[in-house]
Structures are given as structure tokens and as C-alpha cells.
Amino acid sequence: MILDKDNIDEAVKIIKEGGVVIFPTETVYGIGASIYIEKGVKKIFEVKNRPSDNPLIVHISNLKMLSQLVEKISERHKKIIDKFWPGPISLIFKKKKELSTYITNGLDTVAIRMPKNKVALELIEKTGPLVAPSANISGKVSATKFEHLEELIPKVDAIIKSDPTEIGIESTVLDLSTEDSIILRKGFITKKEISELIGEVSENHKEDIIRSPGIKYKHYSPNTKVVLLKGNEEEVIEFYNSSENSVFIVPPSFNKMKKEENVIEFYSFGDKLVGANRIFSLFYEIDKLNYGIIYVVEIKKEGVMEAVMDRVIRASGNNIIDLRKK
């Protein structure tokens, strides 16, 4: 059932009966179910074909909900919340005992975020806290536009049709549940912005799957194979000339290449929003064409581009070709 964004009461009803509803957030579309109804939470795992050991993010609309879910809100939590909520950062807390472990995969922590999207906030205000993973089949590309949801629509109870999501890349996941501050997933809010507020922040090691089970899986992959290229324009042109049946995503500085038909300019530098929200859309659009390979040229990992490159590397399954002549 496709619902209009101005009429969310039907969605509220479905969720309260244990159904699952796709709704927009400012990052990507999410599939929501009530945290209190196990049937709905289980259905999310089925719809997404999600590995059962990957815990979910609880979405809230006000801080009263937060204190009902978590054991302790530290000073670091408070600083991040003051500055960035509602917004694209999920925080890990020690959870209250009563919070069901079917949400957290048996962990004693829980990920929580307050999305900055009118529809999402209105919905959660009426349903109570919702678990909401990204609205995509596990391992595939996150959805930033209604058109990206084609495959999921028949599997869910309803979808709230909305405008394209503003940010277009998932929230940063920041673990503050211990004395260390650790970024578990890169996202729109950068390490620099975080450390300016709360001091030293480290990044999750790839091996550290206990802290964030989600990172061990291949992610964000379009149906077309993705390969990351490292090199300057001359080096990439040489490679391009010998390639077939492929499409190239290149930085805006690649002036010669940009003119070719199967070459797409990635994003504009400097603009955080444009930079982040183009990658998943491009993947969906290219999947409709009949290319064998998507080559993405690596870009300087500044600001949000670090998170964008993180998604590309995961989409490629670490398939990287280094063209640089040393």
C-alpha cells in the first residue's frame, strides 16, 4: 500500500498492529516496526533477508523516549545530542534491561538516533520508538528515492511516498557506551566534527566485529560489479582506452574524460550534501543500463567524501585497481 506523506495515520495503525512500513528519513529510507512488537521486528529481518546477528537502530522523536530506553546518558552523549539531534548520527548507549534483546542481538548496548525529517518525527511521535534499518535488501544499495524501492514494495505492509532523502548516505554510528569514543560506521557527520566536541575519537578496526556486527557483511552493492580505481586523469585515461562495456564515475577535475559518453562526473567538491547523496542514486541508475562494470575513481577523502569512499570500497568488496605509476 502506498501512502501519501500528508496522511500518516494509516501507517501508524499498521505499525501498532505489528506491520512494517517504509518511511523517509533525512539519510536514507528506513523500514520501520515498533520496538515493542516482536512479530514486526522479525518481519523486517525476513523482508530484508538480513543476517539475524545484525542489531537494529532504534529511532526516537523526543528525549523522553531516550531516557526510557537507556541506562546512562554520559556527558559526551549530551554534547553530541545537543549539537546534532535531530540529525544523521546514531549513538550507542548501555541499554535498559527491559529493552528486548531481539532488537540488539543480545548485546547490552543499543544504537539510537533521532532523524531530522518531518514525516519520520511525526510518525514516531504517534507510534513510539521504531527500529528502522535502511530500506534495501541486505547487501544491496540503500534507497534515497521512492523509485529505488520497487523491489521492496510488494514485501512490506505500506510505504510512505516522499521526496528524495536530503542527505543520501546513512548516519554516522558512534559508540560512546564505554570510556572510548569510537566511530563504528562513517557517515555524514565527520570525525573532525565529533572530535571538536568531545575530544579524541578513534575508528573501528575492521576485525572488531563484536562492536558492530553489521560491518562484516558486503554492503551497498549494485547488481553491476563495482571496481575502485586509484590514479590521476592520465593514468585513468590509459586504462579507459583499453576497457570495454564499462562506465566510469570520475571526479569533476577530470576535464578530458568528462566529455565521453560512458563517463559520469561524480559530485561537486565542497558541497557536503551534493557529495553524499549522489552515490547510491548513481548505482541505481547505472543498474538500469547494461554495463558490465562500474569503475569509480578514488577521490580525496575530505569531509563526507571519506564516508562516500567507504561505501564505494564496500560496494566493490575490496576490488581495487591501483593505476598509479610510482
Q: Which residues bind ligand TXA (CB under 6 A)?
A: 25, 27-28, 30, 54-57, 90, 92, 104, 107, 109-111, 115, 132-134, 170-171, 173, 184-185, 211-215
Cα dist from 312 to 10, 141, 218, 302, whole Å? 37, 10, 11, 15
DSSP line for 151-203: TTGGGSSEEEE-SPPSS-SPPEEEE-SSSS-EEEE--SS-HHHHHHHHS--EE
Residue nearest to ligand TXA (CB): 214
Residue (3 or 111) nearer to ligand TXA, CB: 111
State how far the Cα of 279 lies from the Cα of 310, in Å rounded to an integer.
11
The H or E element that residue 16 is part of is helix 9-16
Q: Which of 117, 134, 144, 172 binds Mg ion (CB under 5 A)?
A: 134
Which of the stretches 12-20, 130-138, 155-163, 231-239 binds Mg ion when contact is defined by CB under 5 A? Answer: 130-138
Query: Which residue number, 212 or 224, has a Cβ lying nearer to ligand TXA?
Result: 212
Instruction: Please count the residues of this chain forming the interface with Mg ion, following the rule CB under 5 A.
Output: 1
**β pairing state of 182-185 and 172-175:** antiparallel
Minimum CB separation of residue 142 from Mg ion in Å reads: 6
Q: Which residues pair with 221 in a beta bridge?
A: 140
Stretch that binds Mg ion, among 52-60, 88-96, 132-140, 148-156 (CB under 5 A): 132-140
Nearer to ligand TXA, 121 or 263 (CB): 121
Smallest distance, Å, CB 220 to ligand TXA?
10
Inter-residue contact 27 to 141 (CB < 8 Å): no
CA–CA distance, 320 with 65 (Å, rounded to integer): 43
Q: What is the Cα Rg of the chain in Å?
A: 20
210-269 binders of Mg ion (CB under 5 A)? none
Interaction between residue 144 and Mg ion (CB under 5 A): no
Query: Could you tell me the smallest distance in angstroms from the CB atom of residue 257 to Mg ion?
Result: 31
Q: Which residues form the interface with Mg ion (CB under 5 A)?
A: 134
